[in-house]
Amino acid sequence: MKYFITGATGFIGGRLARMLADEGHQVIALIRDVRTVSHLTNRGIQIALGDITDKESMRAPMRGVDGVFHVAAWYKVGARDRSQADSVNVEGTRNVLELMQELKIPKGAYTSTLAVNSNTHGKLAAENYRFRGRFLSVYDRSKWKAHYEVAVPMIDSGLPLVIVMPGMV
C-alpha cells in the first residue's frame, strides 16, 4: 500500500512512517525542512517538500495514494497568539482533508487529541461528549475546532476518515 503522512518529523508521525516502511509499504512524508529527515530517508521513505498550510504543495505527492495519515500539528507551551495554531491545526487540517476528498483517497486517519475534551472534572466522557467551556490553551482550542468544525462534518458528509485521540505525547 502507498501512504501519505504529515507530521513525519514528529514523535508519533515519525514512528508511524518508519513502522509502515518497515512493513513494506511505500511511504511519502510531507516535510517542510529537509534537514530533519535522515531518520526517514534511511528507511526508504520518499520525501515531499511542502506544508499543510499550502494545499497545492500536497496535491502531487498525495495523488494516487491508498491512504492518508494526518499527524502534523502546531504546539507551543504557554502560547497566547491563536494565529499560528489556527493556521496549522485548523486550516492545515482543512487543506489535508479537502484534498483527500478531491483526490478521492479511499481512507484516512486524522490525529486529534484528548485535549479536545478539556477537563471533564473526573466524569467519564461518552463518544457524544463535546466540551463547551473555556479552553486551557490555544492548542486545545485549535484542535477542538479542527476536530469538530472540520473533521467531523467532513466525516458526516462521507469522507472515509477515522479520528484518533492520543493523550499526552
Instruction: Specify if 133 maps to a domain.
Output: yes
- Per cent of the chain over pLDDT 70 is 100
Instruction: Specify if 169 maps to a domain.
Output: no
Instruction: Specify if 46 maps to a domain.
Output: yes
Burial of 122 (0-12, 13-18, 19+ CB in 10 A): exposed
CATH of the domain at 85: 3.40.50.720
Instruction: Specify if 18 maps to a domain.
Output: yes
| pLDDT at 112 > cutoff 90 | yes
Instruction: Specify if 34 maps to a domain.
Output: yes
For residues 151 and 137, the model is more confident at 151
Band the pLDDT of 72: cuts 50, 70, 90: very high
How many domains, the chain?
1
| pLDDT in the model for residue 36 | 79
| pLDDT in the model for residue 139 | 92
DSSP string, 39-101: HHHTTTPEEEE--TT-HHHHHHHHTT-SEEEE------TT---HHHHIIIIIIIHHHHHHHHH
Instruction: Specify if 90 maps to a domain.
Output: yes
| pLDDT at 53 > cutoff 80 | yes
| pLDDT at 35 > cutoff 90 | no
Domain carrying residue 36: 2-164
CA of 13: how far to CAs of 39, 40, 81, 153, in Å? 12, 11, 25, 24
